Amino acid sequence: MKKNIVGNSKIEINALGMGCWSYGGGSYWGDQAQQDVNDIVALALDQGINYFDTAEVYNNGASETSLGIALKGRRQEAVVGSKVSTSNVQPKVLREHCENSLRRLQTDYIDIYMLHWPVNPKAIEHFSDDRSLIENPPSVDETFHTLMELKKEGKIREIGISNHGVEQMKEVLAACPDIAVNELPYNLISRAIEEKILPFCVEKSIGVLGYMAYQQGILTGCFDDVSKVPAPQAHSRHFHFSRGGELSRHTEPGAEAEIQALLQVIDRLAKEFSVTPAAISLSWAMMKNGISNTIVGSRNREELLSNIKAAEFVLPAGAYEELNRASQPVLDVLGDNPDFYQDREESRIW
């Protein structure tokens, strides 16, 4: 499988990454057996897949703990990326949270340590209800000074960010010129980064880790009608705000008709090329210039083998362009802001 050097770093990772959000089990994805995690991590490494993406917030740290168990004895083969929540970036607190992640992962270093969301009140509100912190967040300079100290100490190899827009990246780069990656949503119905964010990352040699390649299952063919997508997966701006119930934090009308039309194109192309809809969606996401890695979750060996097979399929140029055209109406409705969970005027990304 193709490998890429991540941004301006010396870290080499596969084009397909392992999303670890479900590891450890939790309320969002349900139970996850540790033996299944052990099996898929071992299989991924055996297949040459080396990037594993987690975060301290995933299942309240259980994802990191589970990944640490699964990597025991093979840590040196893996590239581990983890993320610190924006509510935990005051210098002393950030250091403590990095140490906690190291302990849960059973490792002396994290390969890529990322700020999960930009430093701003809207982002902090998602992780904390501490009004004093929300109204007086630490500065970007403070945050990245601490991250640079952790890098000098060898506790992290590379500093990364996640969900940052162009203006926010400019601010970060002024404080810390060596940013290896920006992790962002990218798939056929989440193309917001294409116009401004992705070109800026390419210009500044910041690798892009694309997450939600299947939009939490919606692009795999498991739903023949968008009306069947359950609330946990339907609380983004892709759907009418009423669809997500109490999970929705936006008041926008969504792009359900446009997504439905796109799903029909994906299904037709899958039949034409005798592959799964997941293979069509994943191949499209992986083909974009500037995407260093596309992160996909796998719950068991069968899902991982299916994802590996999907990643091996390469869309013909004509089909790639057809999907660009078919997904353009979704992009036109949702716009160029990749925060798909807040009203655009309330976005955490700019």
What is the CATH number for 80?
3.20.20.100
Label residue 118 exposed, middle or buried (CB < 10 Å: 0-12, 13-18, 19+).
buried
Give the pLDDT of residue 335.
98
How many structural domains is the chain composed of?
Answer: 1
- Residue 211's DSSP bridge partners are 185
| Percent of the chain whose pLDDT exceeds 90 | 98
Asked whether residue 115 is domain-assigned, the answer is yes
165 within domain boundaries: yes
How many degrees, rounded to 5, is the angle at CA 259 between CA 255 and CA 260?
A: 120
Rounded to two decimals, the pTM is 0.96
Average pLDDT in the 327-338 region?
Answer: 98
For residue 9, pLDDT beyond 80: yes
Confidence bin at 231 (pLDDT 50/70/90)? very high
The reported pLDDT for the residue numbered 18 is 98
Q: How far apart are CA 26 and CA 112, in angstroms?
A: 24
Share of the chain above pLDDT 70, in %: 100
Distance, in Å, from the CA atom of 20 to the CA atom of 244, rounded to the nearest integer, reads 23
Asked whether the predicted pLDDT for residue 2 surpasses 90, the reply is no
pLDDT digits (tens, 9 = 90+) for 82-132: 999 999 999 999 999 999 999 999 999 999 999 999 999 999 999 999 999
Angle between helices 34-46 and 62-70 (to 10 degrees): 50
The answer to whether residue 1 scores a pLDDT higher than 90 is no
Q: Is residue 260 part of a domain?
A: no
Average pLDDT taken over every residue of the chain: 97
For the stretch 48-82, pLDDT in tens is 999 999 999 999 999 999 999 999 999 999 999 99
Read off the tokens for 52.
């594993």
* Residue showing tokens 């390649």: 213
Domain extent at residue 52: 3-223+278-314
Q: Looking at the DSSP assignment, which residues form a beta bridge with residue 237?
A: none
Q: How far apart are CA 56 and CA 60, in angstroms?
A: 6
DSSP 36-68: HHHHHHHHHHHTT--EEE--TTGGGGHHHHHHH
- The answer to whether residue 247 is domain-embedded is no
Average pLDDT of the segment spanning 244-250? 95
In a domain, 327, yes or no: no
Q: CB–CB of 25/32 below 8 Å?
A: yes
DSSP H/E element including 115:
strand 110-115
Length of the chain measured in residues = 350
User: Is 231 a domain residue?
Assistant: no
Q: Is residue 264 part of a domain?
A: no
Q: Is the pLDDT of residue 249 over 90?
A: yes
Contact (CB, 8 A) for 279 and 188: no
Mean pLDDT across 27-39: 94
Find all residues with CB under 8 Å of 109, minimum gap 6, and list them. Answer: 102, 154, 155, 156, 157
Give dist(CA 121, CA 315) in Å, integer.
Answer: 41
In a domain, 252, yes or no: no
